[in-house]
Amino acid sequence: MASSNDIVLQVDDLQVHFHGEGPVSRAVDGATFTIREAETVCIVGESGCGKTVTALAVMGLLSQPPARLAGGRIFFQGQSLLDMAPAELRALRGKRMAMVFQEPMTSLNPVFTIGNQIGEAILVHEDVAVSEARRRTIQLLADVGIADPEKRVDDYPHQLSGGQRQRAMIAMALACGPTLMIADEPTTALDVTVQAQILQLLRHLQQRNRMAIQYITHDLGVVAAIADRVYVMYAGLIIEQGTTDHIFKNPRHPYTMALLDSLPTREKRGRRLYSIPGSVPHPAYKPSGCPFHPRCPHRRPSCIERFPDMCDYGEGHLARCPILFGMEKDQA
Ligand SMILES: Nc1ncnc2c1ncn2[C@@H]1O[C@H](COP(=O)(O)OP(=O)(O)OP(=O)(O)O)[C@@H](O)[C@H]1O
Ligand SMILES: [Mg+2]
């Protein structure tokens, strides 16, 4: 078992609310997770379950208002991020923790070359000459697999393909050798081949740099390809967690099971894929008890009244559903 001092990120009972007209929107409603050094942890869940809001809270990039950090704590290498002065947080962001966003065109500035933008990321955090920043930028572009980096460094974002832009974003995130990289659906907009290349690149970089990766996706196929451990998020909180092996072979929460059933596999080829009935509840109108109960085929009357606690299945595998837990105990 790894020791606690290799924990890079610890998020405890995070609550993020949005206030507007009508009831408060509880977008993140008690998210708890941990990421260790050199580990790739996937946060997986359907659209709207709070993955991006959680990541923005960790990065200190949520605009408040409209968001409000209503509770919880975030520790980065033991330091409490929510108690940090804005200047301290800015110094950390981009240097020791960096984020790759889903759509590179929204985070790359169209009027500057990619070399300018990556170089700037270095110059902001490190006391180096412009020529040195440029040399390192070219090396970073080579590291992320961009051919002809000496030429590409002077390209504007629109001159690159979607895959190259995403690689440039990864290069920018890597610029100062972060301890933690948060990647928010970085391959969703790319075709399958380029997606596989980017995942391979991240794995390679991680092995080389021992960086921790928080990888956000709704795609369990991507999870299988990249994750060491998985947190399954639903309606703003974690409903199951475990090693990738446990989650795929022995899912314990009916929501995780349903996500796996809707995953295309070779065996299911030609058959109609299962899709989970109903939809994720709106964060301002969550049902009582377990938030998945309206969609759950295994629902019991108690699930409507009370949200079950985490059940511990051993070896770090936990699920907030007692249904299989009870069955196993009965059989023992
Ligand atoms: N600025 C905002 N104001 C009000 N509600 C917001 C705001 N930003 C996000 N939300 C709400 O918070 C909830 C969680 O959003 P979030 O973007 O984290 O979902 P997600 O899991 O990242 O989904 P996706 O897979 O589609 O990216 C959603 O219901 C969303 O509508
Ligand atoms: Mg998102």
State the average pLDDT over residues 183-206: 82
144 domain-assigned: no
145 domain-assigned: no
Determine what percent of the chain is predicted with pLDDT higher than 70.
92
pLDDT at 74: 96
State the average pLDDT over residues 166-181: 89
pLDDT at 6: 92
Distance (angstroms) between ligand 2 centre and the Cα of 290 equals 22
Ligand 1 proximity of 217 Cβ (cutoff 6 Å): no
Distance (angstroms) between ligand 2 centre and the Cα of 51 equals 5
What is the rounded CA–CA span in Å between residue 248 and residue 150? 43
261 domain-assigned: yes
Which band of pLDDT confidence, cut at 50, 70 and 90, is reported for residue 273? low
120 domain-assigned: no
- State how many domains the chain has: 1
Ligand 1 proximity of 66 Cβ (cutoff 6 Å): yes
Report the nearest atom of ligand 1 relative to the CA of 18.
4
Distance (angstroms) between ligand 1 centre and the Cα of 35 equals 22
Give the closest residue (by CA) to ligand 1 atom 16. 50
Distance (angstroms) between ligand 2 centre and the Cα of 172 equals 20
User: Looking at this protein, which amino acid is placed at residue 57?
Assistant: A
Ligand 1 proximity of 18 Cβ (cutoff 6 Å): yes
pLDDT in tens, 16-50: 999 888 889 999 999 999 999 999 999 999 888 99
Ligand 1 proximity of 49 Cβ (cutoff 6 Å): yes
Determine what percent of the chain is predicted with pLDDT higher than 90.
54
Distance (angstroms) between ligand 2 centre and the Cα of 48 equals 7
Q: Which domain holds residue 74?
A: 5-96+176-331
- CA 6 to each of CA 60, 176, 179, 212: distance values in angstroms, whole numbers, following the listed order: 22, 20, 11, 10
**Nearest Cα to 42, choosing from 188, 236, 212?**
212
State the average pLDDT over residues 297-324: 90
76 domain-assigned: yes
pLDDT in tens, 104-151: 667 788 899 999 999 998 998 889 999 999 999 999 999 888 899 999
pLDDT at 18: 94
> What are the phi and psi torsion angles at 286 (to 5°)?
-85, 145
CATH of the domain at 298: 3.40.50.300
Distance (angstroms) between ligand 1 centre and the Cα of 206 equals 28
pLDDT at 329: 46
pLDDT at 275: 73
199 domain-assigned: yes
pLDDT in tens, 11-23: 999 999 998 888 8
- pLDDT at 270 exceeding the cut of 80: no
**Ligand nearest to the CA of residue 45, numbered in listed order:** 1
Tell me which of 104-108, 132-136, 179-183, 190-194 is least confident.
104-108
Ligand 1 proximity of 47 Cβ (cutoff 6 Å): yes
160 domain-assigned: no
Report the nearest atom of ligand 1 relative to the CA of 102.
27
**Ligand nearest to the CA of residue 217, numbered in listed order:** 1
* Cα angle 228, 107, 172; round to 5: 60
pLDDT, the chain, mean: 88
pLDDT at 183: 92
What is the rounded CA–CA span in Å between residue 86 and residue 71? 18
257 domain-assigned: yes
Which band of pLDDT confidence, cut at 50, 70 and 90, is reported for residue 326? low
pLDDT in tens, 83-105: 999 899 988 988 899 998 877 66
Ligand 1 proximity of 234 Cβ (cutoff 6 Å): no
